[in-house]
Amino acid sequence: MTRTEQGRRRTVGADGAQIRALGQRLAKWRDTYHLVLSLTWTQFFGALLFAFALVNLLFGTLYWLLPGSVANTKADAFLDYFFFSIETLATVGYGTMSPASIPGHIVASVEILTGMVGIALTTGLVFARFAKPTARILFSQRGVIRDFDGQRVLMLRMANERHNRIVEATARVSLLRSEITAQGESFIRIHDLRLLRKRTPVFVLTWTLIHPIDERSPLRGLDAAQLTESFFRIVISVTGHDETVASSVYAGREYAAEDLVFDGRFVDILRMTPEGERVVDLTRFHDIEQTSGPDIR
Residues 56-111: tens digit of each pLDDT: 999 999 999 998 888 988 877 899 999 999 999 988 878 888 999 999 999 999 99
Domain map (residue ranges) of the chain: 39-131, 137-290
Q: Is the pLDDT of residue 120 over 70?
A: yes
Average pLDDT over residues 273-284: 82
> What pLDDT, in 10s, does the model give residues 243-256?
888 889 999 999 98
Contact 26, 2 (CB under 8 A): no
**Mean pLDDT (whole number) for 121-133:** 90
Q: What is the pLDDT of residue 5?
A: 37
pLDDT classification of 272: cutoffs 50, 70, 90: confident
CA distances in angstroms from 226 to 9, 179, 223, listed in the order given? 29, 12, 5
Query: pTM of the full predicted structure?
Result: 0.71
Same fold, 39-131 and 137-290: no
Mean pLDDT of the chain: 84
Cα-Cα-Cα-Cα dihedral of 197, 200, 206, 211, to 10°? 10
CATH 2.60.40.1400 fits 137-290, yes or no: yes
Q: How far apart are CA 164 and CA 170, in angstroms?
A: 16
Q: Could you report the per-residue pLDDT of 14-37, keeping only the tens digit for each?
A: 444 556 666 555 556 667 888 888
In a 13 Å sphere around the CA of 217, the CA atoms on its Cβ side amount to 19
CATH architecture of the domain covering 39-131: Orthogonal Bundle (1.10)
Averaged pLDDT for residues 111-134: 91
